[in-house]
Structure 1
Amino acid sequence: MPSLRDQLIGAWELVEYSAFPPSSPGEKIYPMGENAQGIIMYTPNGYMSAQLQIPGQSPFASGDMNGGTTEELAEAGRKYFAYTGQFWLDESGDEPILMHEMRCSSFPNWLGNVQRRIMKLSVEGGEQFLTLGPEKAVEVMGEVRMTRTTQIHVNVQS
């Protein structure tokens, strides 16, 4: 059986990003909408990249990637979240903890931090899923909530 780290390597496509009160997991909200899109990738040499977006963003009026208006740039920032850096696993506790270094982040408050996530790998219907969530509740849309992302492993065919 491959190690937990080896099972993590590859690309994972977002299935769901939700947030809920710690005492009521069934009371979900979707901070980036129910149709949020994203990919998180883990490389064999210990790097990761996470990208999330709200679909349906309008194209910039200008074809210049750096030429958006203040409003266009604000919309792009509101609808996209990304970070990247190294990753590590801590399997010493009851649940494995996946740590993401914030070398680059579209949320400047996270720059230089290490975000810790409880991780779970599961298989359903022959597909492999990765579920990630923080160890404790965080502020989401003005309320203290737990967050959870669920991703499906992307099997790349050569």
Structure 2
Amino acid sequence: MVSTRKGIDVRQVMGAWQLVSFTATDAHGEVTHPFGTEVRGLIIYTPDGHMSAHVAGEDGYLGYAGTFEWLGDRVVHRTVVGSEPRWTEAHLLRTAHLAAGRLTLRSLPDDNGQILGTVWQRMPLGPATEAER
């Protein structure tokens, strides 16, 4: 999990993030909302290198879990299980940008030039965490 490139320090992304938006951008730059505009989701990064990501909306669900490696301005999600066969036992490279309390992750273009994008905001501390303070 040690960063080998300049960019985001992995300690800045530890914890839980809730989904703000989920988009798909085609090769011509047209942006769509594959699961609709009312989406919910959660991504979690743990200090021991595990992660889990879930996105749900009126038009679908996707999710996967496994381990991660943070590489400065990129992250690799190494999945163990996924809601689609292509996301099970896969290495999913995402570009990453962190600004104003929001984490933006974008896939590399697929064979059709489509890029999936997610924007996340840090979730507030849960009751168990607050009780430990």
Q: TM-score, normalised by structure 1?
A: 0.70
2:60 is aligned to 79
Hey, which of these two has a bigger chunk of strand by percent?
Answer: 2
1:108 to 85, 89, 106: 85
What's the CA shift for 1:147?
1.6
Alignment of 1:38-49 (within 5 A): 38-49=41-52
| 2:125 paired with 1:156 | yes
| 2:36 paired with 1:33 | yes
1:133 is aligned to 106
* Alpha-carbon distance in 2 for matches of 1:110, 1:13: 20
What is the count of residue pairs matched by the alignment? 120
What's the CA shift for 1:5?
0.4
Which segments of 5 or more consecutive residues in structure 1 lack a partner in the other structure? 56-77
2:3 is aligned to none
Deviating runs (4+, > 4 A) in structure 1? none
1:16 is aligned to 21
SS of 2:51's equivalent in the other structure is strand
* Alpha-carbon distance in 2 for matches of 1:122, 1:35: 23
Which segments of 5 or more consecutive residues in structure 2 lack a partner in the other structure? 1-7
2:4 is aligned to none
* Alpha-carbon distance in 2 for matches of 1:21, 1:53: 21
Residue type of the alignment partner of 1:148: G
Q: CA RMSD in A?
A: 1.7
SS of 1:103's equivalent in the other structure is strand
